[in-house]
Each structure stands twice: as structure tokens, then as C-alpha cells.
Chain A
Amino acid sequence: MLEQQLLNALTLGSVYALFALGFTLVFGVLAVINLSHGAIFMVGSYAALWLVSHLDAPLWLAMLGAMLLSGTLGLLVDVLILKPLRARNAPHLTPMIATIGVGIMLTSAAQGMFGAEVLRFPEETLPAGEFIVGGVHVRALEIAIVAIAFILMAVLFTALKRTQLGRALRAIAESPKAASLLGINVEGLFHVTSFVAAALGGIAGVLIGLDFNAITPQMGQPMLHKGLAVIILGGMGDIRGALIGGLFLGFAEVISKAYLSSQMGDAVAFGLLFLILLVRPSGLFGRVLERKA
């Protein structure tokens, strides 16, 4: 059964990583902890569900649509809320509190539009098919989830390392002021980052919605807590950290449920997190006050 549990952990961990990636990206570039990321994750899930059930869109199109919508939402949050706060040099806590408000608004809006009950993707829209490899039950859906998560992460990595855009983003992460003096369009890249981060959050929402088949207005809240834990563990603003941290949390949760007690899942995962932070207070990849992305 260990193999099966490892697969469970891999699926869960890669979605955590995908979620945390957007979260940490915004922190790395904008230096804002965007607490509406959980709600945007939830919006992604509902958007895909709506596209699938109302417009009969195929799943891949619904995923794309969900990414676009949640990305746009992230962009709006940046333009309408974070930008004015930046312009006024608001203290660090202000944007964080403002994004809590955005989260509450989005959650209430979803509740108003879709109701509080648990919604699900219609059965026929899910990728069917499952096979057995060495005693492990693998659903096509799980393969798709892990593949999509890793492909998106690989794309993001490459983009950050190899493209002009990525270099510019890393420059901003070092120092927005210096980047702006070098002629980089800092505001424009803030918008791009917000869009990409929210789109990643949105697709994570679709994947979780597909895997566990339960979409509720509150689904972003536990995810937000876990995402926060992941990026603290990985080192705030560090992309590799979000990946490793996400997988770590997924594995810690599943393995402790499997081999200790199912009541202990979160306790063990967060206990380990605490221990790691005792040894490395800046997280696995964090370098205090040196660089953020």
C-alpha cells in the first residue's frame, strides 16, 4: 500500500506546490502577502465548473478559461487595490489586510451566486479510465493533475531563468527601485506577475476540485493556510522552495495519516514545519535579506 500512498501524496503535494508557486511569486516580486490567493483558487474552481456545466466546454478549455478569469481577477486586485496602496507608500500590513477583504468579498460572492452547498463536476466531464500498475490504482485524472502541475512549474522556471521577462522580474525582486532606474517597466511587470500568480492559483483550484470532487465557497481557506506554510517552509519568495515545500507538505500529511493516525495528518505536517523552521528560520531556500526570487 506504500506505493498507493506515495501516489496520493504526489497528487496532493503537486497541487500544493502549484498553489504556493503563485503565492510566493507575488511575495517575491511585489513584496505583498496576497491573502486573497485562497479565494482566487476557489474562483478558478467555480469558473471551470460553470464553463463545463453551462457552456458544455471541454475540460481543457474550461481549465484555460478558469486560468484567464482568475488571472484577470488577480490583475484587477493589483490595479484596483495594490497599485493605489503602492502609490501612497502604504505600510507593509495594509496591502495584506486589503487582500483579506478581497478574499471575503469573493467568498461571499461565490456563496451568493452558487449557494453554500458542495458542488461537483458532472461525472461525464472527468477524464475516465484507470489502470493498475504493480498493485497501485492510478486514475487518468491523477496523472493529468501531476503532469499539468509539473509542466506549469517547469514553464515558470524556464521563463524566470531564460527569458528577458524573467530576468526583469528577478531584477525587481532584488530591488524595484534599481530595476526602475535600469529602465524596467516595474508597474507593468507587477501586473504581469499578479496575472500569472492568480492564474496558477486558479488552475490549482480546478485540479483540486477535480481530484476531490468537492467545490465550496470556503475551499480556499484551508488551502491558504497550507500555502502560507509551504512558502514559509520553502523560504519566502523562493520558487524552488514553493515546489519542494508543497511536495513536502503533501507527503508529510499523507504519510502521517497512513502510518501514524488519521487524526494526526495536519498536526504532524505542521509540527515538522515548526521543527524545520527552528533549525532554518528563513526556510529551506530562504536567505534572509539577501534576495527574494
Chain B
Amino acid sequence: MRFMPKSIALISALACAGVAQAADIKIGIAEALTGGAAQYGVAIRNGFQLAADEINAKGGINGNKIALVIEDEQAKKEEGINVFKKLIFQDKVLMIFGPTLSNSFFAAGPVANAAKTVVFGTSVTANGITDIGPYTFRNSVMESDVLPITVATATKHYKLQKVAVIYGNDDAFTKSGYDVFKKVLEEQKLPVTTTETYVKGDVDFKAQLTKIKGSNPDAIVCSCLAEEAANIMLQARGLGIKAPFIGGNGFNSPKLFEISKLAGEGTFVGSPWSNTNPAPANKAFVAAYQQKFGSEPNQFAAQGYDALHIAAAALKDVKLSGDIAADREALKNALPKATINGATGPFKFRPAQTKTGKPGGWDADQKPFIYIVKGGKFTLYDSK
């Protein structure tokens, strides 16, 4: 990662074609490519690959090509830590994107922060992620930014009087989603009829749902991952529950409706990204993604794609010295100022509000899109 004049870089690139090139900017990608969170992790990796191809096709950043070092963290804490150590100390990457789930980020993030290496999450929305330290960044729009708008919109649309709540209480992501929902429901003075929980791996939700049915809510607030949410919807309809659902970020997967079919009609969910957003940056992203991967992109791909463009924007202003420690520090200092107009709309960072008062990392400052589910599809909500 030595910085060289362009001509030398070119010669050396020609000289050692096929070998790792001296002028490559090595960037670590640690996402869950197998296991339960693979549906998110694979989409994120695709987003990164698309963005890297685009940046490299335009000649890279100040002439330096981006080289992604992709690792599978399997959505496991231990694996996340292993992969982070490999990327930081062995591959000596400039920065790391990932891991996919908040659980893994809480485990692996401190490793990067202690090694003074930027760690940038694209899909980690739990509270306190960027409390880990000044080297933590994320462009994941947090639940606390999205849910108040989701709940308020659904309340208005359905004229909700009272809601029931169900959430997974042993998963950092769904638990912190619940905490935000709880706060939002209190703030918006929406009474809760009953609060039910389940644990990861549960497939039988009938006891909880029967209880919810008995409390007769106008809607069911659900902080769950897509797989569980789909099963909950199906079993709720089987029990004769007609109330619509209000979901957190876990609902943002096409998988939800592949499984639940029409059981999720009328569901409200907020998302940092909309595939129907007509902004040119988003249209270009959707078209390029479809061409490269032959499938529709989702929010996670869009955030991965934008994240690399954010890093690229910051790297334009960084003079790489070849001293990995100094370069990592320079990137950390340049990143908070980066802004782009990406697939998820205009993006900038804002300093994290840490609970402890210690200097924290950087969170996304972005507005969400609100969807309602119609015909088994996310449809951008039009309040008229």
C-alpha cells in the first residue's frame, strides 16, 4: 500500500500483473456469508463488489485500485473476532466493513478499535454500536431514527388505539429494536396490551400469539428477524388474528414475503432505502446490480454499496504514506467529513451520542422511507 507516482505504480502494476499490486488499497469485508444471517451478508458483499468494480473501472482512488479482502464471519461472535484479527494483523487491511449482525459487531468491533483500525458497519442498527470507540462508524440508519416515524405513520393510517408487542429477547438486534419500540410507544402514548417474547430458534409461537389474540390489539409490533417474523405472521393468521404488523429493520428482506406470502398484508415497516426511489444515484445502482447479479438488490446491498462510496470519498482526501498505522489514522480522521449522494439518498455522519460520555464513533444522519405491504410487496407509503 505504498504511495507512488502514477507512472511507477503503472510500471509496477504491469511488472507484477496477477500478483497483489503495491498500489492496491486493501479493504477488509467481514460479513456473514453462510449461516442464519447469510441472506443479509451476501447482499452486503454484492453491494461492495459492485461499488469496488465501479470505482476501479473509473481508475480507482487517486490512481490506487481497491482490493477487497472478503471473509466469512458466519454471524458468530468468535468467528467475527478471528476474522477481524486476520484482516487487521495478517492481511493488514486499511479498514474493515462488517460484521453483519450487531451481536458480532459488539464482539469484534472492540478488536478493531483497540488496533486503531476503522470498523464500518453497514447493517448494524443496535443501540450502542458506536459507543465502542472513535474508530467505529456505520451508515446503518438506526432503529431509533426509523421506528418513531414508522409507528406514527401506522398509528395515523390505522387509527391505532392499542398494540401488542412480540420480540426475540436473546438477540442483540431484536432486543435493542424492542427497547426502541418500547420507548417510541411510550412517547406516542400508545397503550401496550401485552408483551411477548421468544428465543432464537423457536418455531412455535402459538402460545404467545393466542395470548396476544386474547388481548385484542389493533396491531402487533414485532421486533424480529425476517424468518421468525414470517412464521409469526403465518401462525397469527392460522389463529384467526387479523391485526396488521408493524416491523423493525429485520423485516427488510424479500424473504419475509417469500415465506409469509400474503399473511403480511398491511404491514408497516421503515427502511433507509427504497428500490422505487427515483433519484438518479439509486436508479443507476438498481440497474447495475441487476445486470451484475441477475437479481433485485435490497436495502443491505444498497447500504454496502453506499458505504464503499463513502469510504472512497474520504480516501480521495487522504495521502497514503504506506505506513499502515499512519494511513489508518488518516482515514479515521477524514471519514467523518465524507458526504455522498448515494443509493440510500443524501448521506452524512453525525457524532454518536454515547451513554458514557466517552468519545464515541459516528452514526448515520439520514431520513428513512416508510413502506406498507401490498400484494406481498413493499410499496412506498403515500400519506396523501
Contacts and interface: CB of A to CB of B under 8 A. Distances in A.
Interface stretch (A85-93, A113-121, A156-164, A187-195): A113-121
A212 B231 contact: yes
Contact of A1 (B34, B198, B213): B213
A170 to B, nearest CB: 35
A125 interface: no
Contacts of A12: 204
A132 interface: yes
Given A8-B210, A123-B261, A214 B203 contact: yes
Contacts of A265: 207
A262 B238 contact: no
Residue from B203, B227, B261 with most neighbouring chain A CB atoms (10 Å): B203
A132 B206 CA distance: 16
Contacts of B208: 257, 262
A1 B210 contact: yes
A213 B38 contact: no
A78 interface: no
B207 A222 contact: no
Contacts of B231: 212-214
Given A118-B227, A214-B203, A258 B238 contact: no
Contact of A8 (B34, B206, B240): B206
A157 B93 CA distance: 66
Contacts of B240: 130, 132, 137
B198 A262 contact: yes
A117 B225 CA distance: 13
Given A123-B261, A262-B198, A116 B204 contact: no
B283 interface: no
A38 to B, nearest CB: 14
A4 B36 contact: no
B238 A4 contact: no
A22 B211 CA distance: 33
B37 to A, nearest CB: 10
B351 to A, nearest CB: 36
Contact of B207 (A123, A132, A218, A258): A258
Contacts of A137: 238-240
Contact of B211 (A1, A219, A222): A1
Nearest to A130: B238
Interface in A216-266: 218-219, 222, 253-254, 257-258, 261-263, 265
Contact of A116 (B34, B169, B207, B210): B34
Nearest to B196: A262
A139 interface: yes
Contacts of A116: 34-36, 38
Contacts of A132: 240
Interface string B204-223: 10111011011000000000
Given A1-B213, A132-B240, A139-B238, A8 B259 contact: no
Most buried by B among A9, A120, A213: A213
A213 B234 contact: yes
A117 B258 CA distance: 13
A262 B227 contact: no
Interface in A245-293: 253-254, 257-258, 261-263, 265
Interface in A1-56: 1, 4-5, 8-9, 12
Interface string B167-207: 00100000000000000000000000000111101011011
B379 interface: no
B36 A253 contact: no
Given A116-B36, A137-B239, A218-B201, A5 B261 contact: no
Nearest to B261: A123
B341 interface: no
Nearest to B206: A8
B277 interface: no
B234 to A, nearest CB: 6
B35 A5 contact: no
Nearest to A142: B238
A123 B262 CA distance: 11
Contacts of A120: 259
Contacts of A214: 203, 227, 231
B193 to A, nearest CB: 13
Contact of A117 (B39, B206, B213, B238): B39
Nearest to A5: B210
A4 B204 contact: no
A226 to B, nearest CB: 11
A241 B204 CA distance: 24
A212 to B, nearest CB: 4
A254 B208 CA distance: 9
A263 B169 contact: yes
Contacts of A139: 238
Interface in B31-68: 34-36, 38-39
Nearest to B194: A262
B35 to A, nearest CB: 6
Given A5-B210, A120-B259, A212 B238 contact: no
A263 B207 contact: no
Given A1-B213, A123-B261, A212-B231, A8 B203 contact: no
Interface in A134-160: 137, 139
Contacts of B35: 116
Interface in B242-260: 259
B201 A262 contact: no
B214 A1 contact: yes
A89 B240 CA distance: 56
Closest 7 CB pairs of A and B: A1-B214, A212-B203, A257-B207, A214-B203, A137-B240, A8-B206, A4-B210
Given A4-B239, A5-B207, A214-B227, 20 more contacts: A1-B210, A1-B214, A8-B207, A12-B204, A116-B34, A116-B35, A116-B38, A123-B261, A137-B239, A208-B203, A211-B204, A212-B235, A213-B231, A213-B234, A257-B207, A257-B211, A258-B207, A262-B198, A262-B207, A262-B211
